[in-house]
Amino acid sequence: MQSAPPRWLEVWVDHPRLGGCFIYRVPEGWEPEAGDLLSVPFGQQVAGAVALGWRAELPAGVEPQSVRTIEAVVAKGILPKEFWPLLQRVADYYLTPLAQVVRTVLPPGLLSRSQRRIRLVRSPQGECSPAAQALLRLLQEKGGELSWRYLQQQVPGAELALRELQRRGWVESFWQEQQGGRVKTQQAATLVEDSLEGLSLPQQKALQILKQKGGELLLVEWERLAGVSRSVLQSLARKGRVHLYERPLLRLGEADRPVEQDRPKPLTPAQAEAVAAIGQALGRNQRFLLHGVTGSGKTEVYLQVIAQVLQQGRSALVLVPEIGLTPQLTDRFRARLGSRVWTYHSGLSAGERYDLWRQMVISVPQVVIGTRSAVFAPLANLGLIVLDEEHDDSFKQDQPQPCYHARQVAEWRAELANCPLVLGSATPAVETYAAHLQNPQRWVRLALPQRIPQAGIPATLPQVELVDMRQELQAGNRSILSRRLQQALHETLKRGEQAILFVPRRGYSTFVLCRSCGFVLTCAHCDVSLTVHLEGRQELRCHYCSARQPHPQRCPACGSPYLKHFGTGTQKVVEVLQQHWPQLGILRYDSDATRRKGSHRNLLEQFRSGKAQVLVGTQMLTKGLDIPQVTLVGVVAADGLLHQPDYRAGERTFQLLTQVAGRAGRGSLPGQAIIQTYLPEHPILQAVLAHDYEGFVQAELRQRQEGGYPPYRALILIRLSSTCLEALERYCQRVGERLQGIPAEVLGPGPAQVERVAGRYRWQILLKQLPGQPWDRAQIDAHLRSALGHIPQGIRVSLDVDPLRIL
């Protein structure tokens, strides 16, 4: 008799320390599919695992006899179908092993938090082995269902016995949430039928409220909004108008915060066109660039399209750059769409992340708003993906691998889920705009050219002014605030309006220099200067490795007491403002001030409520901040941004300044932006001044083409680091030599711009795609692997595909 050939399945084993991808044998007659939950023998234990896919052959060096057999298929398809092909694509494109991709994506302990249980399904008939009999007896005595661990402890040879009973179809095994009530639930209602016929007045009212809120509410909230008793709601369930069910209550404190209700706004013609175009593309994989200045009503467009998506019984995913901006946005979404809106970001605890996963895999239509990693949210039945502020760098993961870009992954995901992708921005990434220029049918551009009028007053873009700081110096003004900015601040505050000051750096001053010998205080572990911070007393901090030390009284090199602070950070600006306006309420908004959970929200709410008149902040200010009373935006120093030695410095500066300026005049009052610079004639600043995105992008694309940068030539950056410089250099040279013959231009190896960080030396090699020769990933992967060879101990290597920074 000829036995069937063995079949190999690659699975991801969920184990806290040893987990990863492994190959298992599949018994005949079992047909597990990618995404199924399995249990597999692992060392001395049985572990939870996820099927990744069939493999035609064993990896080299693996003997067939050594491959173990999967024990059971415990649950089918807990994750959406497109999920595994998506992860495979991420692994291939970003040159990262699949196991590492899975580890990044799945919440830790997804399976280990669950318990494998066994239950009786049919009454046994006929003979079986003694161990099987023992197992059956236990199950019958204890109510038909027990945990697998308990059975294993009680019955010797339980594994074989179980397999025997499963074969006969008498018992089955399944995974269940760990008992002990960690996941609480709360009653919720879904609208089934909205006919008002035969209903009492209170019943009608309650049903209408539910309908207005999008057909889905927590019972407590519904009760409050409708102002009726619980019995009225229950009677609606009995009449079949609504369905009541237990929904897992997330450990997300804010999730069920009641918010004021909000209705769809009558659309402007441009908005209506956008909503119609996207609406017609639902159910198709179409890409849109929603190109609208800040305040032009992009969010309203998302909201109305998402309402359609939910109505069709599908879910929507909304990706945003940073969590600082999520509270405001989330409130707007909840106000419109009710309590089906969840937030997902890296600030969640493991428990919260786990709860949210459980919520997402059930296929109730819902909306998830999240940061970068939410592109992997396991929403079933995905109907739309939105990336808001798509140009933002935080969508790219720098480390660890996979160094994915959420925009790229979203493109694949939308393709696999066959749904539209909408990228929204006032200042689209150069790559995105170039994609549209190259193929306007594939990338449809929808423009929202104007701000929405507020209170009947036509809204205009802020008026931008450049202030030449060279002239300030000549006129004898040594303050960090130009006379123009001081005057504008004065007038703004006199009118009772608010102002925002943008400072690229946090802390007090950016370096300390000895005026006697010229020594600059640097970090002991990094090649960077230390920043002065004032937190009660003076302290020096390293912004690269976070090391802290007290501020010395004398120069460590020559002992001179003449240490001077240079460069301007947020704390310094606050101090200067306090000197000018002692009564002024000032808030600082940077990562030092917002470190505590929820303090983003608190700070912004304090500012919005008018407790302070000026907000001084870093980069974080640029994102989605929408405060109507802000009419003045000051950029204290623009030049540092322009002079970064990176091919994207110009693009970043244009985007940042345009976005910051866009924070002014969001309400009914006109806004102005004042940018201080030593280089007012710089073309990037001139483009910001004229609100000229088109001009900026054309000039930028020309430069990229001449320099051989994306989108014309793709890049891969190999980053290498070690605590031992000698070993690192030696290895880098060797890799450099072995890269000969790879179909790419090889630049380096050479030290990174800041060579040493936290005691590690950092080198890099840049690969540039040859003009007009798209990369074959498999070929590049093979070349790289052989060039890297065996990586010596102590050296870390990471591959950054499509790096955003090549410093």
Helix (H, G, I), strand (E, B) or coil at 282: coil
Residue span binding ligand ADP (CB under 6 A) among the ranges 287-295, 305-313, 691-699, 729-737? 287-295
Within a 10 A sphere around the Cβ of 778, how many other Cβ atoms?
Answer: 9
Secondary structure of 729-794 as H, E, C letters: HHHHHHHHHHCCCCCEEEEEEEEEEEEEECCEEEEEEEEEECCCCCCCHHHHHHHHHHHHCCCCCC
Q: Identify what 295 binds: Zn ion, ligand ADP, none; CB under 5 to 8 Å per kind.
A: ligand ADP
Q: Identify what 192 binds: Zn ion, ligand ADP, none; CB under 5 to 8 Å per kind.
A: none
Give, as one character, the DSSP assignment of residue 215: S
Cα angle vertex 220, ends 215, 226, to 5°?
A: 60
Q: For the CB of residue 563, give the shortest distance to Zn ion in the complex, in Å.
A: 8
Q: For the CB of residue 495, give the shortest distance to ligand ADP in the complex, in Å.
A: 21
Q: Are the C-beta atoms of 233 and 242 separated by less than 8 Å?
A: yes
Residue 777 is a binding residue for Zn ion (CB under 5 A): no
Residue 267 is a binding residue for ligand ADP (CB under 6 A): yes
Residue selected from 412, 511, 519, 678 as contacting Zn ion according to rule CB under 5 A: 519
| Distance of alpha carbon 429 from alpha carbon 321, whole angstroms | 13
Q: Identify what 237 binds: Zn ion, ligand ADP, none; CB under 5 to 8 Å per kind.
A: none
The token duo for 427 is 């200042």
| Distance of alpha carbon 109 from alpha carbon 358, whole angstroms | 13
Residue span binding ligand ADP (CB under 6 A) among the ranges 179-187, 259-267, 341-349, 482-490? 259-267
Could you tell me which of 253, 318, 319, 307 has the C-alpha nearest to residue 282? 307
Residue span binding ligand ADP (CB under 6 A) among the ranges 74-82, 263-271, 720-728, 758-766? 263-271
Per-residue b or e along 15-44, where b marks 16 or more CB atoms closer than 10 Å to that residue's CB: beeebbbbbbebeeeeebebbbbbbbebee
Residue selected from 152, 203, 271, 619 as contacting ligand ADP according to rule CB under 6 A: 271
Residue selected from 62, 350, 517, 770 as contacting Zn ion according to rule CB under 5 A: 517
Residue selected from 316, 429, 542, 616 as contacting Zn ion according to rule CB under 5 A: 542
The size of the interface with ligand ADP (CB under 6 A), counted in residues, is 15
Q: What is the x/- site pattern for ligand ADP, positions 296-315, by CB under 6 A?
A: xxxxx---------------
Q: Identify what 712 binds: Zn ion, ligand ADP, none; CB under 5 to 8 Å per kind.
A: none
The token duo for 262 is 């909000």
Per-residue b or e along 393-412, where b marks 16 or more CB atoms closer than 10 Å to that residue's CB: ebbbbeeebbbbbbbbbbbb
Q: Name residue 431's amino acid.
A: E
What is the DSSP annotation of 543-612?
TTT--EEEPPSS-TTT--S-EEEES--HHHHHHHHHHH-TT--EEEESTTTT-STTHHHHHHHHHHTTS-
Residue 335 is a binding residue for ligand ADP (CB under 6 A): no
Which residues, other chains included, contact 33 with Cβ-Cβ below 8 Å and sequence gap of 6+?
51, 76, 77
Q: Identify what 557 binds: Zn ion, ligand ADP, none; CB under 5 to 8 Å per kind.
A: Zn ion
Name which of 353 and 623 has its Cβ closer to ligand ADP.
623
Q: Identify what 298 binds: Zn ion, ligand ADP, none; CB under 5 to 8 Å per kind.
A: ligand ADP
Residue 408 is a binding residue for ligand ADP (CB under 6 A): no
Q: Identify what 545 binds: Zn ion, ligand ADP, none; CB under 5 to 8 Å per kind.
A: Zn ion
Site for ligand ADP in 724-763 (CB under 6 A): none
| Distance of alpha carbon 444 from alpha carbon 277, whole angstroms | 9
Q: Identify what 271 binds: ligand ADP, Zn ion, none; CB under 5 to 8 Å per kind.
A: ligand ADP
Site for ligand ADP in 626-645 (CB under 6 A): 626
| Distance of alpha carbon 544 from alpha carbon 312, whole angstroms | 48
Q: Identify what 558 binds: ligand ADP, Zn ion, none; CB under 5 to 8 Å per kind.
A: Zn ion
Q: Identify what 555 binds: Zn ion, ligand ADP, none; CB under 5 to 8 Å per kind.
A: Zn ion
Residue selected from 30, 174, 357, 544 as contacting Zn ion according to rule CB under 5 A: 544
Strands (E), 43-85: 45-55, 72-75
Binding footprint of Zn ion on the chain (CB under 5 A) = 514, 516-517, 519, 523, 525-526, 542, 544-545, 547, 555, 557-558, 560
Binding footprint of ligand ADP on the chain (CB under 6 A) = 265-268, 271, 292, 294-300, 452, 626
